Amino acid sequence: MHEYDMGNTDMNANHTAIPQALISALQQARHVVVFTGAGVSAESGVPTFRDAQTGLWERFDAEELATTQAFLNDKELVWGWYEWRRMQVMRAQPNPAHLSIAALASLVPRLTVITQNVDDLHERAGSTQVLHLHGSLLNPRCFDCGQAWAAPSAIPDEPAGGRRLSPPICLHCGGAIRPGVVWFGEELPVRELRRAYASAKDCDLLFSIGTSSLVYPAAEIPNLAKQAGAKIIQINPDKTPLDAGATWSLRGPAGVVLPDLLIAAFPEVGIRR
Ligand code: OAD
């Protein structure tokens, strides 16, 4: 018997009741896809992009920070901002949503985790072979030659806090090191996207968790799964464009809903909070 400690979750937090048909679908699923967005890391203290007031794109201009042109215009501004975000992630810990998703891997016959997130909280919770569609804050590379750059793992006392920082210089070609994330206008990594599409078309159950379902092509993934006949479970405190297509929408924080769902669907495995 496995025992999973999900940490402390707020037992009194409200979320919509979990329908029995959803629990049965999870118990019987052959291949489950978990598709995540920034909301899955929100309870770890990593800001989302579009939540009112706290979302990064509510406070910062994506045009000035998240495009190739932005980097060419002002490398210090862009590098400093992404280093600040990398420090936030390094200080953060996986929350019960990440832990539940990692636990799910041994509870269903096959699990594929696809994320839009550029943090490593799924991996630190124990998920393996996570498909990162939007790259990673932890894998910077040379802007010119693409050579990987080993980011220091030490966490400075003070986060960069949006301060301007000169990007390091590539040891191979002398080019500037850039963040390892996908910027607006750039292609998604081909291998990850191909595998994500294939998994979506193959699965019989797809979770869409903590994403606004606004950014394409990633937002196409639940639609592909639905067209191929899969049931769609959405977990999000707010409405999204996926509401219309989801089989079930569970309103609530992922770090509360997911442990409750696992406890309901797999009572025999001794998941505890
Ligand atoms: P968004 O910020 O657009 O959406 C986050 C979603 O998470 C919202 O729908 C929130 O309601 C929901 N949310 C907030 N807290 C939650 C919680 N505790 N549990 C569950 N859901 C919660 O983030 P993404 O959809 O990930 O692109 O954004 C997609 C892409 O847009 C990102 O990958 C990023 C951004 O520009 C790149 O970096 C390339």
How many angstroms separate the Cα of 270 from the Cα of each of 5, 33, 181, 253?
A: 9, 23, 38, 22
Of 3.40.50.1220, 2.60.120.10, 3.40.50.620, 3.40.50.460, which CATH number belongs to 1-46+94-140+188-273? 3.40.50.1220
Short-list 208, 212, 251, CA closest to 48: 212
d(Cα 161, Cα 144) in Å, to the nearest integer?
26
d(Cα 96, Cα 61) in Å, to the nearest integer?
31
d(Cα 158, Cα 83) in Å, to the nearest integer?
11
Looking at residue 13, what is its pLDDT? Answer: 53
Tell me the pairing of strands 231-235 and 248-250.
parallel
Atom 9 of ligand 1, residue of closest alpha carbon: 212
Tens place of pLDDT per residue across the chain (273 aa):
334 444 444 444 557 789 999 999 999 999 999 999 999 999 999 999 998 888 999 888 898 999 999 999 999 999 999 999 999 999 999 999 999 999 999 999 999 999 999 999 999 999 999 999 999 999 999 999 999 998 877 766 555 556 889 999 999 999 999 999 999 999 999 999 999 999 999 999 999 999 999 999 999 999 999 999 999 999 999 999 999 999 999 999 999 999 999 999 999 877 666
Looking at residue 154, what is its pLDDT? Answer: 72
Looking at residue 52, what is its pLDDT? Answer: 86
Outline which parts of the chain fall under CATH 3.30.1600.10.
47-91+141-178
Alpha helices, DSSP H only, in 114-210?
Answer: 121-125, 190-202
182 lines ligand 1 (CB under 6 A): yes
Atom 2 of ligand 1, residue of closest alpha carbon: 49
Specify the amino acid at residue 56. L
User: Which residues touch 175 (CB under 8 Å, ≥6 apart)?
Assistant: 142, 143, 144, 145, 169
What is the Å distance from ligand 1's center to 200 Cα? Answer: 19
Ligand 1 atom closest to the Cα of residue 218 is 29
Looking at residue 10, what is its pLDDT? Answer: 44
Of 3.30.460.80, 3.40.220.10, 3.20.20.70, 3.30.1600.10, which CATH number belongs to 47-91+141-178? 3.30.1600.10
H/E element, 80: helix 75-91
Outline which parts of the chain fall under CATH 3.40.50.1220.
1-46+94-140+188-273
d(Cα 134, Cα 125) in Å, to the nearest integer?
19
Question: What are the residue numbers of the active site?
Answer: 134
Q: Whole-structure pTM over 0.85, yes or no?
A: yes
Looking at residue 163, what is its pLDDT? Answer: 80
What is the Å distance from ligand 1's center to 204 Cα? Answer: 24
Cα 203-205-206 angle, rounded to 5 deg: 90
Bridge partners (DSSP) of residue 248 are 233
189 lines ligand 1 (CB under 6 A): no
